[in-house]
Amino acid sequence: MMIDNTYLDVKPDVAQALAEGKPVVALESTIISHGMPYPQNVQTALNVERIIRENGAVPATIAVIGGRLKAGLTEEEIEYFGKKGTAIRKASRRDLAMLCARGEDGATTVTTTMMIAHMAGISIFATGGIGGVHRGAETTMDISADLEELAQTPVMVICAGAKAILDLGLTLEYLETKGVPVIGYGTEELPAFYTRTSGLKVDYRVDSPEELAAAFRASKALGLRGGMLVTNPIPQEYAMPLDTINAAIDQALAECSTQGIHGKEITPFLLARVAELTGGDSLASNIRLVYNNAALAARTAAAFCRREAAN
């Protein structure tokens, strides 16, 4: 079935780059509206776009505004998202049709950013951390839609691993079942968002953007249906001690249960509470790992475009 992109708006500089075969990197908007407070959220979003440009690619921050799927935001639109914050609905796959039909706003998660990026023809996406299997999912069945999207949408997602608040072992098992390759950039172990290692093994280690680009091009040439997950460890100088972050997560999880928080409200609550419990250190680490992922994504997108042009 052909997809009707009537609802899709591609920012002019993004459209031009795609038409000319130049590198473009997609970015999510939930990190702006739900990831951190204003004005830090806007400053971070603009810095991420700057880093992508400095590394040779065009940024395309993705969102839903007034029922329109936006592949690329203006500075004014990023400011609007930052100020409106959590009043904007987090938009997963189940929300897109209703948001478009009602002409409402939506902050794109990993899932919807992948979807809209693919609609626009963008192959590389940089984020902080993906969602996954939540702790206690054997009882709650709380599993992020991000994992399903990785299994069916051919976009390379570059992140710092799954969010540390999750059950990382079960997340890897789920990705294996869905046939999603988990690649460690410069590492054989899965990064755990705020920390560089989790003690869990990834499927493959790669050491250059060129190797990432070659793997993704091979995946597309083979007609493989899903995406690729690249896990890029947080820089050592910004990593947090594992014991510190685990203690904060355990306390935040207990409070989450006590307060009856569930569903899509869990992740923003936990991230905000962990930031409070660590005196803001986790938020600072979060920002730095996003910057690191953006730079790698831009270099990978550039390498991918060079390979495409050579063939």
Catalytic residue annotation: 28, 163
- Cβ(91)–Cβ(146) under 8 Å? no
Facing residues of 8 across strands? 69
**Residue 64: Cβ within 10 Å count:** 25
176 is written with which tokens?
């294996």
Q: Which residues contact 154 (CB under 8 A, 6 or more apart)?
A: 118, 123, 219, 220, 224, 225, 226, 227
Cβ atoms 60, 49 nearer than 8 A: no
Closest by CA position to 168, among listed 105, 245, 92, 107: 245
Helices (H) and strands (E) in the chain, counts: 13, 11
